[in-house]
Amino acid sequence: MAAGVSLRRRVRAAARERTGASSADDGGAVSGGRPARIRARAVVVDLDDTLFDHRESARRGLARLIHELGGTATAEIIDTAEMTAERLMGRRRAGEIGRADYRRLRIRHLLADIDQRLEAGRLEDEQCDLLYERFLEVYEEEWVGFADAVPVLRGLHDRRIPVAVLTNGPEERQQRKARVLDLEPWVLGVWTSERLAAKKPEASTYLTVCGALGIEPGAVLHIGDNVEHDLHGARAAGLQALHLDRGQAFAESSQRITTLDAVLGML
């Protein structure tokens, strides 16, 4: 059986070299339980919430901070802290509060959630800032990737399909994530919005990476968790694209997968 699978892979690889790329079913569907085939000569993948598990990392960091503050990090408290962060981020995006207020309010709400309301009311802004910096430290110490991230990258590497990472984020932090998650052996590079001076879904971001790979956009598959950035933006730039919906929050579509390893059955 293994020999047969290996042979089929070699045949598919040879076909890719002969024919280049063409889209199939808008870039990968699950129809009748069987994945549609995608013909791509390279893959570009998002980082945050695609390879890097931001939510799990943040929850672990919160648990450590709560413990240091003398509280008990129950799932309910961490869930509440997540909802508070989402609500405050909405206010920040709306221009109601700034970055510093967002951070300080998160700390004060967290203290109240662990029954330290008095301390929350007495805390100076500078002390809130120090506690938030401590949260960032333990969050980064808890960085973790999704279980399927490295195996999928390794699988693509074994098939001689080049992979690049394209991410909106600061250069130093995103490169450090790639090192911590051990992505570097399996990808040709990590391109950040800071490095490119442009953010997804601007077409130049995808096209610059395609140019660096030396492969035309139509022969490149882009995968990521954000519908606008990783699906619509990539397709508008001429790439094939799949939306990675790990939380299964969206309706089934021909461009949606729910696990990253599903892509190995499509190529």
Q: Verify that 42 and 125 share a domain, yes or no.
A: no
What is the Cβ-side half-sphere exposure of residue 250, based on CA atoms within 13 angstroms?
16
Residues with pLDDT less than 70, the chain: 1-35
DSSP secondary structure code for residue 37 in this structure: P
The alpha carbons of the chain give a radius of gyration, in whole angstroms, of 21
130 and 59 in a single domain? The answer is yes
Q: Would you state the pLDDT for residue 29?
A: 39
pLDDT tens track for 22-34: 333 333 334 334 5
Same-domain pairing of 94 and 224: no
pLDDT score recorded for residue 117: 76
Dig out the tokens for 1 from the structure.
């059986």
User: What integer pLDDT is reported at residue 35 of this predicted model?
Assistant: 56
- 200 and 93 housed in the same domain: no
Of 77, 108, 141, the residue that ends a domain is 141
Question: In this predicted model, what pLDDT tens digit does every residue of 30-47 receive, in sequence order?
Answer: 433 455 789 999 999 999
In a domain, 11, yes or no: no
pLDDT of residue 51: 98
C-alpha separations of 172 from 35, 151, 169, 192, 193 in Å? 37, 24, 9, 9, 11
Residue 117's H or E segment, with its range, is helix 117-122
Distance, in Å, from the CA atom of 50 to the CA atom of 97, rounded to the nearest integer, reads 29
Q: Are residues 215 and 149 in the same domain?
A: yes
CATH number, position 117: 1.10.150
CB 84 within 8 A of CB 106: yes
Whole-model pTM?
0.80
141, 159, 179 — which closes off a domain?
Answer: 141
Whether residue 225 sits in one domain with residue 187: yes
Shared domain for 169 and 47, answered yes or no, is yes
Which pLDDT belongs to residue 36? 73
pLDDT of 129 reads 97
Determine, yes or no, domain membership for 9: no
Question: Does residue 63 form part of some domain?
Answer: yes
Cα separation, 167 vs 190, in Å, equals 8
Q: Same structural domain for residues 208 and 97?
A: no
Q: Are 159 and 13 in contact (CB under 8 A)?
A: yes
Pairing of strands 220-224, 163-167: unpaired
Distance between CA 259 and CA 32 in Å, rounded?
A: 17
b/e map 135-149, b = 16+ CB within 10 Å: beebbeebbebbebb
101 is a domain residue: yes
Flag whether 12 is in a domain: no
252 with 166, same domain: the answer is: yes
The residue among 141, 173, 189 that closes a domain is 141
219 phi, psi to nearest 5 deg: -100, 10
Note down the domain range covering 205: 19-53+145-265
CATH code, 160: 3.40.50.1000
Phi, psi dihedral angles at 34 (to 5 degrees): -115, 130
Residues 183 and 254 grouped into a single domain: yes
Flag whether 70 is in a domain. yes
Number of domains in the chain: 2
> Is residue 90 classed as helix, strand or coil in its secondary structure?
helix
- Tokens 């109601």 correspond to what residue? 96
Residue 4's Cβ-count burial label (10 Å; 0-12, 13-18, 19+) is exposed
Same-domain status, 131 and 89:
yes
pLDDT score, position 250: 87
| Structural domain contains residue 29 | yes
Distance CA 179, CA 40 (A): 26
**Residues 158 and 136 occupy one common structural domain:** no
